[in-house]
Homo-oligomer: A and B are copies of this chain.
């Protein structure tokens, strides 16, 4: 399991062995229940216990904005900002020819269909600034431009970050992505 080394694993295992059998059983049941009940939203592919997830079902959200993310963790990070009121589309990964991940494995065709069918004013690509993220952004921008406006989140200096400690690539991106004021 990620972040669990041999020593932590041993500590957790010994802790489990000290618990009454009942607690261990209910923990095991909870894991199995989560595994069997949590699937994907049929619309946005976010983790969901229902066929359509809570976000997609929420009528209060702004369906004109569609934010594209690599996975559910990124979606949850954006939700924590409480800033974005639109809908999401979870790709399930990023295009990576080196790892044999092409757009056909990702939720791309469903994205195009969604943008075409629904009345989406703007697709916001919120992908990580890496080779894979950039490749995927470029690919999706070209694919979606006939249907709608496509934008991507800003790459630059993180808030609270000192210029002095920023790496060269981030500073270069911050310079390139500069915005006119006023």
Q: A161 an interface residue at 8 Å Cβ cutoff? A: yes
The closest CB in chain B to the CB of A124 belongs to: B178
A171 B77 Cβ-Cβ under 8 A:
yes
A175 B84 Cβ-Cβ under 8 A:
yes
Cα A171 to Cα B155 with chains together (Å): 10
A159 B164 Cβ-Cβ under 8 A:
no
Cα A11 to Cα B27 with chains together (Å): 53
A175 B129 Cβ-Cβ under 8 A:
no
For this chain, the copies found in one complex come to: 2
Main secondary structure of the interface of A (DSSP, over half): mixed
Q: How many residues of A contact B (CB 8 A)?
A: 57
Cα A180 to Cα B154 with chains together (Å): 10
Question: Known: A157-B128, A157-B129. Contact between A151 and B181, CB under 8 A?
Answer: yes
| Listed residue (A73, A124, A149, A179) with the most chain B CB atoms within 10 angstroms of its CB | A179
CB<8 Å pairs between A and B, sample of 19: A69-B163, A76-B164, A78-B163, A78-B171, A80-B171, A81-B172, A83-B171, A124-B175, A126-B175, A127-B163, A129-B158, A129-B161, A154-B174, A154-B176, A154-B177, A156-B157, A157-B158, A158-B170, A160-B169
